[in-house]
Amino acid sequence: MTNWYIRYTKTAQIWKTKFDRKEDLESKLRKLYELEYKYHQLLMRGFSGVPRRRENILKNLESSLEGVILEIKNVLVNLFSEWLDSHALLNPEIWAKKRVEHLRLGLGYDEEEILDAILAEIKIYTNKKEGKYVSAFSELYKSGGAFKSYIDSLISKWVRLDEEELEYAIENGDEEEAQYYRERIESLSDPSIEDIEDLLESGGIDLYSIPLKDRDFEILFEKLAFPKWLKHWKKHGILQTRENVKKTFEMVQSIGSGGVSSDSAKINIALNTAHQSGDLVEYLGKSGEFSSSGEGEVKQLLDDLSAMSVDEWNEELRGIGCDV
């Protein structure tokens, strides 16, 4: 095999990595770190060869870097966007919608389990006994939708039964009983929110028999859980954390306009932001972009990336004439 072919093969290997055919973020990050290292070593170190050849190698490395940087950018944009929507501190409707979406992903279409999960989370932030969420369900009634339709149909059924009892009391000459049903029918015919709350408090309405929809679940989160959730996490710096993540998100969106060195630095800043926020790392772990989905494993990977061995890469660089 001639020397020129050996040199060509070694040169070609510089911008090729063993992660080229893998599509997950973990492989893309490993590829980024490898290409970035080789690019900067070749750029900054001496080179014992034809300058034009060095320029061509740098050009190919830069092209490969641009490609993987944009791929990583797309993943990070989705990650930070999802996190910000789920921590929409000024928009409880979006916050609640994302909460329900996450429950759907985890629990599917088991409405009873979803309701239990919502009530359990509400309990964490409100210190209320399970099942005693009268104000939240009365909010559902005021908002309309499936909950109100169900309650109205239930009340209509009760009114028909009370009308039968009223007729029976009149036939038997029991005026006191008849008056009781007249007043009850009048109250149920045009129920106030207080009447609905009384029915909920007394257990006259079985919550688990109600065909709740996603919007009903969202209202439960929005009206009852969100204010308490925000109050709780404000004490733990959620406002500053969100502001930092928002600024990082805006920086990530600008990737692709500053050259590979600048763009690569922005990715490192974004990863560092994610690394410092356990919540963001959890989102990364659940994104499907890592071979291992546990939060601890993702954190370990981010640590490992900054401590990767460069011996093999240095050998490749020396093979093409780079003085490392």
CA atoms in the 13 A half-sphere facing the CB of 224: 26
- Give the count of beta carbons closer than 10 Å to the beta carbon of residue 237: 11
Span 279-284, average pLDDT: 66
Query: One-letter amino acid identity for 198?
Result: D
Mean pLDDT for the stretch of residues 69-97: 86
Instruction: Tell me the pLDDT band of 200, cut-offs 50, 70 and 90.
Output: low
pLDDT digits (tens, 9 = 90+) for 29-56: 888 989 999 999 999 999 988 899 899 9
pLDDT reading at 8 higher than 50: no
Please check the confidence at residue 131 and state whether its pLDDT lies above 50: no
Identify the band that residue 104 occupies on the pLDDT scale cut at 50, 70 and 90. confident
Give mean pLDDT, residues 184-210: 72
Distance in angstroms (rounded) separating the CA atoms of residues 70 and 255: 7
H helices within 87-144, ranges in order? Answer: 92-107, 111-126, 134-143
Q: Is the pLDDT of residue 128 over 60?
A: no
In this prediction the pTM is: 0.64
Nearest CA to 35 among 13, 15, 57, 59? Answer: 15
Domains of the chain: which residue ranges?
A: 13-86+238-319, 110-225
Torsion of CA 310, 314, 316, 318, to 10 degrees: 180
